């Protein structure tokens, strides 16, 4: 059995990019490997309906009924008692679980760009997967998007969506005004389930408060034909720098899900 694990450490739903990473890989790979499982660990099972709603607002073809939602104790039990051939995870909360539980996995695929010493999983069967040059990497990957299932829109609201991670809007007002005069939606204020319909232009400002591993919205904005901007006055080369560079240098089709992708291949075998 192969399993994709996603864990939420909050008592309410927060829409992390890692959730969409995990779900898109699952929803594509399960088409070709019906035995693939996705386990969603949560502290509050009431978020189950919210997760399904958020995914259905984002994608046209959902497989949410194939996700197994469970509380943390059940995840611990299943990891201890289930023979898993390959386990894949994309988020830090799953890492914290796996740091505590000696699960019965032949291989664990660690798909995230957090690989400093505090975020290592010190086991011989771990395969570190990354596309970034600043990470420990055992298997070089190119993370994919399941664009085929993205919800289509006839039009978008006339707003500028601003992402300044962990920062305050007041800190970047001058930058915003130099980019656009549109009404502003600020990411830190409110999570929007059906995000893309609410803006037609995107601004990412590199923040001193967050080292971003692999932000998704440059490529998603390019897919939807939206204008997008990147401001990095700090000259820090985190995932935002490399993802933005990739989005302007390469065709969006190079990010499409495909059965030839090496990470997908691991999920299928």
The predicted-structure confidence for 223-246, as pLDDT tens digits, reads as follows: 999 999 999 999 999 999 999 999
Task: Write phi, then psi, for 163 (nearest 5 degrees).
Answer: -115, 110
Number of domains in the chain: 2
Largest CA distance in the chain: 57
3 state DSSP class of 266: helix
> Do 174 and 158 fall within a single domain?
yes
pLDDT of residue 226: 98
> Do 117 and 192 fall within a single domain?
no
> Do 126 and 190 fall within a single domain?
no
pLDDT higher than 90, residue 131: yes
> Do 48 and 84 fall within a single domain?
yes
We report the CATH number of the domain holding residue 25 as: 3.40.50
> Do 118 and 226 fall within a single domain?
no
pLDDT higher than 90, residue 4: yes
The model's pTM is 0.95
> Do 215 and 264 fall within a single domain?
no
> Do 50 and 68 fall within a single domain?
yes
> Do 45 and 132 fall within a single domain?
yes
Domain span at residue 205?
151-254
> Do 232 and 141 fall within a single domain?
no
> Do 137 and 180 fall within a single domain?
no
Q: How far apart are CA 106 and CA 103, in angstroms?
A: 9
């Amino acid at each position: 059995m192969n399993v994709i694990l996603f864990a939420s450490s909050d008592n309410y739903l927060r829409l992390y990019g890692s959730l969409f990473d995990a779900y898109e890989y699952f929803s594509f790979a399960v088409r070709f490997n019906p035995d693939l499982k996705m386990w969603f660990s949560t502290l509050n099972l009431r978020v189950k309906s919210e997760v399904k709603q958020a995914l259905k607002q984002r994608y046209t073809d959902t497989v949410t009924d194939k996700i197994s939602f469970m509380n943390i104790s059940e995840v611990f039990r299943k990891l201890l008692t289930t023979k898993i051939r390959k386990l894949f995870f994309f988020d830090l909360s799953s890492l914290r679980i796996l740091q505590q539980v000696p699960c019965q996995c032949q291989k664990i695929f660690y798909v995230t760009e957090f690989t400093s010493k505090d975020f290592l999983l010190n086991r011989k069967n771990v395969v570190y997967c990354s596309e970034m040059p600043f990470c420990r990497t055992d298997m070089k990957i190119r993370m994919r998007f399941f664009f085929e299932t993205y919800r289509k829109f006839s039009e978008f609201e006339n707003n500028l969506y601003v992402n300044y991670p962990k920062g305050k809007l007041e800190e970047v007002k001058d930058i915003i005004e130099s980019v656009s005069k549109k009404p502003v939606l600020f990411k830190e204020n409110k999570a929007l389930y059906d995000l893309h319909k609410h803006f037609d232009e995107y601004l990412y400002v590199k923040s001193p408060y967050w080292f971003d591993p692999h932000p998704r919205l440059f490529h998603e904005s390019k897919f939807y034909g939206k204008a997008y901007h990147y401001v990095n006055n700090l000259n820090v080369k985190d995932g935002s720098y490399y993802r933005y560079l990739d989005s302007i240098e390469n065709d969006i089709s190079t990010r499409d899900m495909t059965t030839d992708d090496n990470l997908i291949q691991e999920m299928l075998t």
